[in-house]
Amino acid sequence: MNKVVEIRSYNLKPGSRGEFHRLVVEVSLPMLGRWGVDVVAFGPSPHDDNSYYLVRAYDSLEHRQSSQDAFYGSPEWRQGPREKIVSLIDSHTSIVIELDPSAVDSLRKSVPQNLSAPPNLGES
């Protein structure tokens, strides 16, 4: 059965990508893991200095919706890092596609998981 894959693209405030990446690695990823969210890939987009992406996989559209409702509605998110993370985002957009699980695994393996801020990330 295919996976539902969400590709979220963030347009960040100028100069904030380094701080955003730090928050993703140190705060968001561990939190998403606790909530059982399958993060396939994430990181700074190489095409400009203010873009960032997050790729997540779900079992179905319904699973995506219920997972996001639970996570984004939780006190852990709302009373935790939400304000700081959202303050660094100018805008974001999401697209959702269906992929074979092997394609999801290939994407997961092909994209380096940048767990530390690369030197080309702007300072906040």
Cα 39 to the center of its chain, rounded Å: 7
pLDDT of residue 114: 59
Domains (range + CATH), the chain: 3-108 (3.30.70.100)
pLDDT tens-place string over residues 93-118 = 999 999 999 999 999 988 776 555 44
Per cent of the chain over pLDDT 90 is: 86
pLDDT tens-place string over residues 62-74 = 999 999 999 999 9
- Measured CA to CA, the distance from residue 124 to residue 16 in angstroms comes to 4
- Measured CA to CA, the distance from residue 31 to residue 11 in angstroms comes to 22
